[in-house]
Structure 1
Amino acid sequence: MPTVGEILRSEREKQGLSIKDIEKATSIRTLYLSSIEADNYSVIPGEVYLKGFIRNYANCLGLDAKELLELYRQTSNLTDLEPEKTSDDCERTAVTPVSDRVGGSSKTNKLIVVGLVSVFLIGILSWAIGNRNNQPPQQLPDPKPAPTSPAVPVPQSSPNTLVPEKPAPQSKPIMVTAKYTDLCWTLVIADGKEVYEGTPKIGETLQWEAQSNLSVQLGNASGVEIIHNGQAIGKMGEKGEVLKKTFTAAAKP
């Protein structure tokens, strides 16, 4: 059975294209393209990037990217790749809630304490109500007639001063806008969840939001201009450079 690299190289040569032609069309560096064709994934910076490169390379040649990715999963040696920790791993290593680790005896003790506190509070409340009802009614002095005074014209009320409305707070503290000037494979993870993966068209503008952190991974760092919370950052790196940038929420004062 031919490998992923053999299929890509065979189709490229069949179409009379060079590695440089593929680099120009996909913005993937020649080093990575040659490594994929040789089925040598050790130079690829992680499996996420590798899958994106295979998908873009296949689409460029008109091949079925899903079939190639499935073939890669069946035949690849994942030990050649640098392991990446995903959000699923983080979820699996989450600390078990204390309530799940405490035995039934602890729960019983808590119920007893809550019951005693409730009885104590009810007793105090009953005593306070009974004590208030037993107090004699307060004797009020006879009201004296109020002296009459000449009528004073009532001044007209001034119009209410309008208070300018405060602008509505931003829904989420992290907002990243990406303007694409070249083809660039992109992966976006917001608050631990993948929200975008693909290669936008040249001239396209995308925007993502997050509550605590937002990670942007780029396969061609010079092909996109980044704006973070309204502040222009510009291009993130050189042409063909693989780059990952993480934005975090600023601490509240």
Structure 2
Amino acid sequence: MTGVSDLGQLLRKARTEKNISLDQLQETTKIRKRYLEAIEEGNYKILPGTFYVRAFIKQYSEAVGLDPDEVFRLYAHIIPSADPEPSNEPIRMARRSAVNPPERVGKWASALLMIAFPILIIGVIYYYLNMNMESRDNVLPNEPITDSSAAEQGATLGGEDGSDEPADTPAEPDTVQTPLPPPPEPEPDVTFVDKFTYSKNTVERFEVRNADKIKLEIKIVGPEAWIGITHADAKSKYLHQGGLKNGDTYSEEYDHNVYLNVGRANAVELTVNGVVVEMGTEPNPRKFQFELVQTPADTGTTGN
């Protein structure tokens, strides 16, 4: 992990030396702030795939004035190899590096080409137009020349050397660059944390991440089972309680921490935000507490 932390320190140092905050960097690169923090900490696991790891590191390096090619060369042993480019979603950075390998030279060359080409065309048209006007001066001394006729004359005279090809081949226009697609939203995560004692009963505590609500789905698959649901901070006041028979279901969403009491564990199938919670094979009662955990990106906290 030393190499990973060294890369994160290098990027953070370059950012702080330029007095760029993570919020400013997020606005510049359009990369979520928590992914920028993960890159600085070397925590690539929360990023959505190695393709985005490499793309985000490249954008970060460019935004703080580092040479991304040099960064990839120095830290090739810890930066994941590139996955195949996501299908049906053009990636701005991959497209730009393919069209313009030396970025600065490519930009200048494109700009000079766009300026020089119209001047060259106007010069050629003007030259041949003057020659044509001199040869036809006695016939059409005052006939105005329109843009379309001048273009036709220039195209005709441009092939007088016997070649079927025009004198100048127009340069292909630059490809329109498309923005990097947003990474997919993380799936809800339900994780067992620990156990604690409440009113002489053992309570199993779970944390629910990547979600703004707790969704309980209960199905009775055995004999009748009693369930009770309360607010985690007010366990004496029931939000729902009662017995359910075989085949009955119960589903509800809560925007706060939830305390769940199940009277017969092996008769219940329990799913929390799409994640199955194992209930075991014993008919004993079980108590659960599910707690919403907000990430920094969800709560809108700021900081460098």
**What's the TM-score, normalizing by structure 1?**
0.34
**What's the TM-score, normalizing by structure 2?**
0.29
